[in-house]
Amino acid sequence: MKGANQTAVTEYVLLGTHKHCNLEVLLSVFCLGIDSMNVLGNALLIGLNVLHPHLHNPMYFFLSNLSLMDICGTSSFVPLMLVNFLETQRTISFPGCALQMYLTLALGSTECLLLAVMAYDHYVAICQPLRYPELMSGQTCMRMAVLSWGTGFVNSLLQSILVWRLPFCGHNVINHFFCEILAVLKLACGDISLNALALMVATAVLTLAPLLLICLSYLFILVAILRVPSAAGRHKAFSTCSAHLTMVVVFYGTISFMYFKPKAKDPNMDKIVTLFYGVVTLSLNPIIYSLRNAEVKTAVLPLLRGGLLSRKASHCYCCPLPLSAGIG
């Protein structure tokens, strides 16, 4: 049965919003613009973090990881989706669909973990500044990043194995823009209770647990900030956290809206909301950090003038901030 399942379906049809051609034209233009902004903005952030010595610290190391993940996330499905908007037959091969589902799920899980790691970095910088060089050493940063990426990809591998072992009975029409795991599961003609359980456990461990850690970190941060005697010190600490906190609110706010909103009468609306989450949310990170972070804005100007290209990166990439800049 499993062997027949693998050979019977060689490609899948992605419906998208095929009955609304005008809507797809608007979506294609919108997604192309947003994806271009996402790639350019996140690539700029990575370039700044590599070239600017003042950004060689744990916070921007993790931000570079997040930017790389955002580029990979949209690149895993947006290019093919844009091509399908222009094609009459919207198909994707079985290996392509399996890879697309694997990457989108893995990168989504990794983002949750990276946001939690960044919250911990802010907690250490503000609540334990004297131990910051010890707790956030270069080796520790690298281990945290590898653990975040590794956990996300291992979880996605497990979920993918559980999905593709199911019988699909020749069903190959996916009612979505891309191979999203829940849309693929709807094609299965067997028992998916194990898949539902595995997804529920993964959601609790990789989505809710990081959110709890983020909330606890900011609770301790808030208590520490309120103890700072000077208004300037409190403002500096708040400004340090504002960009990351905005990212967390946007990320988890979008997820909450997706899964807790009333089911739309038009099924296309649910697909468009998922598309908004996958494309727009990932593209907001460079905008948020550019507008909310003074160090990034300061680093952009000399880069635009070409001054950074001749500057040597004399610091280790993940070396900690000086104690005086631990919360800056």
DSSP assignment string, 236-260? HHHHHHHHHHHHHHHHHHHHHHHHH
Q: What percent of the chain has pLDDT over 70?
A: 81
Average pLDDT estimate for 282-301: 70
Higher-pLDDT residue of 179, 233: 179
* Range from 22-31, 82-91, 120-129, 262-271 that averages highest in pLDDT: 120-129
* Range from 140-144, 164-168, 296-300 that averages highest in pLDDT: 140-144
- Is residue 146 very low, low, confident or very high in pLDDT (cuts 50, 70, 90)? very high
Residue 324 has pLDDT above 70, yes or no: no
State the pLDDT at residue 164.
92
User: At 150, phi and psi to the nearest 5?
Assistant: -65, -45
Nearest-angstrom CA–CA distance, 180 and 13 = 13
Residue 161 has pLDDT above 80, yes or no: yes
Residue 222 has pLDDT above 60, yes or no: yes
- Is residue 120 very low, low, confident or very high in pLDDT (cuts 50, 70, 90)? very high
State the pLDDT at residue 168.
87
Half-sphere exposure for 281 (CA within 13 Å, toward CB): 25
Q: Enter the pTM of the model.
A: 0.83
